[in-house]
Amino acid sequence: MKLVYITGPNVGSSYHQTEAYITYAREWAERLARAGYAFYCPHLNTAHFDTIAPDVPETFWREMNLNILRRCDAALVVPGWDNDEATRRDAEYAERWGVPVVLDIDEIAQLRVKKTRRSGS
């Protein structure tokens, strides 16, 4: 099963904008699940942790997410990312590590599962 990292705007200028980004990413996670792809969605995994665990530095969340990105078969860049620096950075890391960056779920079918990870695990 292919594992897809969802990247897009994550933290907004207000709680409500951040929540809108999380909701949008959740919609993409649902689309991936319906298409049969496993996913990692940092928006959902770290939702509002800046408020929940303010003592944990942002660098921890960033490193955690990048560690997972490195293991993925693809990085799906959701529409609306154009001016988001964190999304650009995710895409740059993905390309550096040989993780294909895709703009559409249909592109994922053409990709191979990484050989460094056991496909059954």
Q: pLDDT tens, 88-100?
A: 999 999 999 999 9
**Predicted local distance difference test score (pLDDT) of residue 115:** 60
Angle CA 22–86–47, to nearest 5? 25
What is the mean pLDDT of the segment spanning 14-39? 91
Give domain status of residue 52, yes or no: yes
Domain that holds residue 37: 3-110
Task: Provide the sign of the torsion angle of the four alpha carbons 110, 117, 86, 79, taken in this order.
Answer: positive
Give domain status of residue 118, yes or no: no
Average pLDDT, the chain: 86
Give domain status of residue 39, yes or no: yes
Total-model pTM: 0.86
Give domain status of residue 72, yes or no: yes
Q: For the domain that residue 102 is a member of, what is the CATH number? A: 3.40.50.10400
The DSSP 8-state label assigned to residue 113 in this structure reads P
How far is Cα 76 from Cα 100, in angstroms, rounded to an integer? 9
Provide the number of structural domains found in the chain.
Answer: 1
Give domain status of residue 121, yes or no: no
Give domain status of residue 19, yes or no: yes
Give domain status of residue 116, yes or no: no
C-alpha dist (Å) from residue 15 to 10, 19, 36, 60, 98: 11, 6, 31, 21, 34
Give domain status of residue 115, yes or no: no
